Structure 1
Amino acid sequence: MSTNQSLYLLQEMATFVKVVETGSFSETARQLGTTPSAISRAISRLEKALATRLLQRTTRKLRLSESGEQVYLHCQEMLNAAQAVMQSSGQFDAEPQGTVRISVPKAVGHFLLHPYMPEFLQRYPKINIEMLLEDRYVDLIDDDIDLAIRITNQPPLGLMGRKLIEIDHLICATPEYLQQHGTPQHPRDLKQHQCIYLGEQPSDSKWKFQRGQQTVSIAVQGRYAANHTGIRLDAALQHLGIASLPYFVARQALDRGALQQVLAEWQFKTYYSGAAWLLYSATRHVPPKLSVLIQFLAEKLAQEPTLYRKNPALSDE
C-alpha cells in the first residue's frame, strides 16, 4: 500500500478501532454521529485496500479475524500516536491541568486516597479530580476512566500499571468484647464467637488462617454481616463481635487501643487480599495531569505501613 493510499484510509483505520472497542456498528455510528451503513462501508473499504477480512460478522456480535487482530494493534498504535500529538501542547504547560477520572474500590478510596487529595489539589490547582468509588469492574475505555485502582496479583494485559501497596487483612475486636467473651487462642475458638464478616458470598464466612506450614479453615458465624468495611469497622467498635477488616481500615483504631488484633500470630488469608495496582491505558505518552497524580499516589502510599511491617514475626514464617 502506498503512502498516499494510507493517508486516505486513516479515517477508516480509526473507525475500525472504534468498531472493535464498541463491538457494534450501530454503537460506533452513534458515538461518531453517523449511520451504521456508513460504518459498514468504511470497514469494507479498509478490507478491500488490505485484501483481507478483518471482522467475522455474526447475527449477535463481531469478532476479529486472525489478520484483523494484527491490523487492530497497528491501528490502535496510530490512534495513540495521534492522541499524543493532540496532548503534546500540554507537555509544555507551566502547570499540569485538566480533569482526571479515577475509579477506586470504596474502602481504598475512602481510607487511603481521600486523605491525600486535599494536598494534591493544593499542589496542582489546575487539576480537577473525579473520584468514583465503586467495587465493580470498570472498563477504562467504555467508562471513560483515566486511572483505576484494582486489588489484584495479576494486572490485566493491555494496561499499563504501577504497584502501590499490599492490601493485608486481619481480624480484631474491642478489648471490652474480648474481656466479656474471651480471647481466641486458636482459629477453632472463633466458633464460639460472634464474627462480623463480608457476607457477599458463602465463602466469606469461611475464614482461613496460616501459621508457618499450617493452614486452618474455620466456618464462622455471627448475627451481623456487611459488605462495607466502614460498617464492619463501626460494628466492631460497637462491641458486636470479631470483625474481618483490611489493616489500613482498622489501623487508627488499633493504634489508639480501641481495637485489638485477634490471633496476631496467624496470617489471615482472604480472597480480597493482594496488591493495589494503579492502572491506565497503554500509551507511550502519559499526559502531565496523569503523570503527576500517578507519582503523587505512588509516593504517598509507599509511606503507608502494612500489617507485616507492624507484625514482623508474621513475615518471618
Structure 2
Amino acid sequence: MDRITAAKVFLTVAETGSFTATAERLDLSKPMVSRAVALLEDWFKARLLQRTTRKVSLTEAGEQALEYCRKMADLTDGIEQDFLARSGELSGTLRIAANPSFGGSHLLRALQDFMDLHPKLNIQLQLSDQKTDLLENRIDLALRFTNQVEPGLVARRLNQIHSLLVATPDYLSRFGTPTTPQDLTRHRYLAHANVNQKTWRFFRDGKETALELTSPFSVNDSNALLNCVLSGGGIAMLPKYMVNGYLAQGRLKTVLTDWALPVYSLYALYLTRHRLPLAVRSLLDFLAERFEGEDW
C-alpha cells in the first residue's frame, strides 16, 4: 500500500473514529485499514491514534499528521480532477438518494441522460421517503424537499415544489366541488402520512388557515396516494410534478385553486464542499440546468 492511499485511509479513520466504519466506507478489510495506519505510524515515527474498545482518537502526533495527510490528499485529488476535467471523462460510482415519487420519475430520467453523456460512470439510486443519513450510507448526493436544511449539510437549491388539491372529474360530479377548505370535512380527503395526516395548511391574502383533519385514509407513499385519487377515491394534496400530466389529459381536476398550499424547495444536499469529486460537481450542474424553470 502506497503512502497516498494510506493517508486517505487515515483521514477517514480520523473522520469516523472507527476502523470498522472506515473499512465499510472504503470497501476495505479491517486488517487493510490497520495496515494503512501502521504504515503511516512507521513513516512519521510516532503513534498517531489512541485506541480504546469504544473509540479511536488522534494523539498529538496524529493531529499534526492529519494536516500533512490532508495536504497530500488535496494535492493528489486536485491532479486527478484536473486531468479528468481536461478529458471530459467521468468514471467511478455515485450514490444518490431521493424520495420514490420524484426519484423514480424526473430524477431517474435525468440520471439516465447524464449516464448517456458519461458511459463509464456508475450510479446507485436509493429511493426512500425516510431521510437518509448521508454519512452512514455513503451518499454522495441527496435530493430532498424541505424548507429547513439539516445542520452540517451543504445545500444547492434546484427548484420550488408546489402542491395542488386534485380529484377525478367523476368524483367531483358525484360529490360536488369544495369551495372553502372547511368543505373538505364533507368529502373523502386522502392524506400523506408524513405530510398532512393531521394538519392541512392553506394560505390566502397573506393569512394562514390551519385545519385539523382526521383523514379516513392515509398512506406513506405518494405514488399510492396518486393511484387512490385516480381511482376516484377522493381529494388529495399532491406535488405538481406528479399531476401535471393527468391534469393536461383531463383525468384530474384541481380544486380550491384560490387557496395556496405550502411550498417546498428542492435541494441537492451533500456533506462538504471540501474535495468534492468532479462527478458530483458535474451532476450538480447538470441537475441545476435540467430542473431550472420546470413548472413544479
- Taking structure 1 as the reference length, the TM-score comes to 0.73
Percent identical = 32
Q: Equivalent residue for 1:244?
A: 237
| 1:34 aligns to 2:24 (yes or no) | no
Deviations 1:105-143 (A, max 9, x none): 212212321233443333333333322212333333432
| Match among 248, 255, 280 for residue 255 of structure 1 | 248
Q: Kindly indicate whether the alpha-carbon contact (under 8 Å) linking 2:161 and 2:264 is maintained by their aligned counterparts in 1.
A: yes
| Match among 169, 179, 182 for residue 175 of structure 1 | 169
Q: Equivalent residue for 1:217?
A: 210
Q: Equivalent residue for 1:309?
A: none
Correspondence list, 1:139-288, <5 A: 139-200=133-194, 204-269=197-262, 273-283=263-273, 286-288=276-278
* Distance across 1 between alignment mates of 2:274 and 2:252: 46
* Distance across 2 between alignment mates of 1:180 and 1:61: 64
| 1:103 aligns to 2:100 (yes or no) | no
Mark the CA change 1:303 to 1:71 in structure 2 (over 3 Å): closer, same or farther. farther
Displacement of 1:228 in angstroms is: 1.1
Displacement of 1:160 in angstroms is: 3.8
Displacement of 1:224 in angstroms is: 2.5
Which of 179-188 and 156-165 deviates more?
156-165
Which of 207-216 and 287-296 deviates more?
287-296
- Give the residue type in structure 1 aligned to 2:179: Q
* Distance across 1 between alignment mates of 2:33 and 2:112: 46
Displacement of 1:265 in angstroms is: 1.0
Matched position secondary structure for 2:197 = helix
Q: Kindly indicate whether the alpha-carbon contact (under 8 Å) linking 2:10 and 2:37 is maintained by their aligned counterparts in 1.
A: no
Q: Kindly indicate whether the alpha-carbon contact (under 8 Å) linking 2:229 and 2:235 is maintained by their aligned counterparts in 1.
A: yes
- What's the C-alpha RMSD, in Å, of the aligned pairs? 3.9
- Give the residue type in structure 1 aligned to 2:177: T
* Distance across 2 between alignment mates of 1:190 and 1:283: 46
Q: Equivalent residue for 1:132?
A: 126
Matched position secondary structure for 2:31 = coil
Mark the CA change 1:278 to 1:71 in structure 2 (over 3 Å): closer, same or farther. farther
* Distance across 2 between alignment mates of 1:286 and 1:36: 23
* Distance across 2 between alignment mates of 1:141 and 1:279: 12
* Distance across 2 between alignment mates of 1:177 and 1:77: 64
Q: Equivalent residue for 2:284?
A: 294
Q: Equivalent residue for 2:115?
A: 121
Q: Kindly indicate whether the alpha-carbon contact (under 8 Å) linking 1:12 and 1:45 is maintained by their aligned counterparts in 2.
A: no
Deviations 1:163-214 (A, max 9, x none): 111122221111211111111111111111111111248x623211111232
Displacement of 1:33 in angstroms is: 3.0
Displacement of 1:62 in angstroms is: 6.4
| 1:89 aligns to 2:83 (yes or no) | yes
- Give the residue type in structure 2 aligned to 1:280: Y
Mark the CA change 1:268 to 1:111 in structure 2 (over 3 Å): closer, same or farther. same
In structure 2, the gaps of 5 or more residues are: none
- Give the residue type in structure 1 aligned to 2:217: Y
Q: Kindly indicate whether the alpha-carbon contact (under 8 Å) linking 2:185 and 2:213 is maintained by their aligned counterparts in 1.
A: yes
- Taking structure 2 as the reference length, the TM-score comes to 0.78
Q: Kindly indicate whether the alpha-carbon contact (under 8 Å) linking 1:174 and 1:258 is maintained by their aligned counterparts in 2.
A: yes
Mark the CA change 1:45 to 1:204 in structure 2 (over 3 Å): closer, same or farther. farther
Matched position secondary structure for 1:112 = helix
* Distance across 1 between alignment mates of 2:55 and 2:283: 38
Mark the CA change 1:26 to 1:36 in structure 2 (over 3 Å): closer, same or farther. farther
Mark the CA change 1:58 to 1:198 in structure 2 (over 3 Å): closer, same or farther. farther
In structure 1, the gaps of 5 or more residues are: 1-8, 307-317
